Amino acid sequence: MAQHKDDQSTLHGIVVRNTGSAYIVRTDDGREVECRVKGNFRLRGIRSTNPVAVGDGVTLRQQQGAHHQADAQAAATQTLFITEIDERRNYIVRKASNLSKQSHILAANIDLALLVVTVARPQTTTTFIDRFLATAEAYRVPAALLINKMDQLTDDERQEADYLGHIYGAIGYPVFMVSALTGDGLDAIRTAMQGQTSLLAGHSGVGKSTLINRFVPDANARTAGISDAHGTGMHTTTFSELYTLPEGGALIDIPGIKGFGTFNMEREEVAHFFRDIFALSADCRFNNCTHTHEPGCAVLRALEDHRLAPSRYASYLSMLDDKDESKYREAF
How many other CB atoms are there within 10 angstroms of residue 270's CB atom?
A: 24
Residue 41 has pLDDT above 80, yes or no: no
Task: Give the CATH number of the domain where residue 163 resides.
Answer: 3.40.50.300
Q: Which is more confident, 35 or 332?
A: 35
Same domain, 100 and 233: yes
223 exposure class (CB count in 10 Å sphere: 0-12, 13-18, 19+): middle
Mean predicted confidence (pLDDT) in 160-187 = 98
Give the per-residue pLDDT at 224: 53
Angle at which helix 126-138 crosses helix 155-171, to 10 degrees, equals 20
| Torsion region of 185: left, alpha or beta (phi above 0 gives left; psi -120 to 50 gives alpha) | left
The answer to whether residue 111 sits within a structural domain is yes
Give the per-residue pLDDT at 79: 86
Same domain, 67 and 109: no
| b/e burial code for range 56-73 (CB count within 10 A of at least 16 → b) | bbbbbbbeeebbeeeeee
Q: What global pTM score does this model have?
A: 0.86
Mean predicted confidence (pLDDT) in 44-70 = 75
Same domain, 77 and 98: no
Q: Pick from 85, 108, 123: which residue ends a domain?
A: 85
Q: What percent of the chain has pLDDT over 70?
A: 81
Q: How far apart are CA 204 and CA 88, in angstroms?
A: 27
CA 243 vs CA 154, 165, 189, 252: distances in Å: 34, 28, 16, 6
Give the per-residue pLDDT at 329: 41
Instruction: Specify the range with the lowest mean pLDDT, choosing from 101-105, 192-196, 230-234, 291-295.
Output: 230-234
Answer whether the bond into residue 122 is a cis peptide, omega within 30°.
yes
Task: Give the CATH number of the domain where residue 31 resides.
Answer: 2.40.50.140
Residue 71 has pLDDT above 50, yes or no: no
The answer to whether residue 301 sits within a structural domain is yes
Q: How many domains does the chain have?
A: 3
Confidence of residue 288 (pLDDT cuts 50, 70, 90): very high
Residue 258 has pLDDT above 90, yes or no: no
Instruction: Specify the range with the lowest mean pLDDT, choosing from 116-130, 150-164, 213-227.
Output: 213-227
Give the per-residue pLDDT at 95: 78
pLDDT digits (tens, 9 = 90+) for 299-313: 999 999 999 999 999
Residue 323 has pLDDT above 80, yes or no: no
The answer to whether residue 262 sits within a structural domain is no
Range of the domain at 52: 10-85
Where is 209: in which H helix or E strand? helix 208-215
Q: What percent of the chain has pLDDT over 90?
A: 68
* DSSP, res 48: B
Residue 332 has pLDDT above 70, yes or no: no
The answer to whether residue 103 sits within a structural domain is yes
Confidence of residue 223 (pLDDT cuts 50, 70, 90): low
Task: Give the CATH number of the domain where residue 317 resides.
Answer: 1.10.40.50
Same domain, 124 and 77: no
Same domain, 40 and 154: no
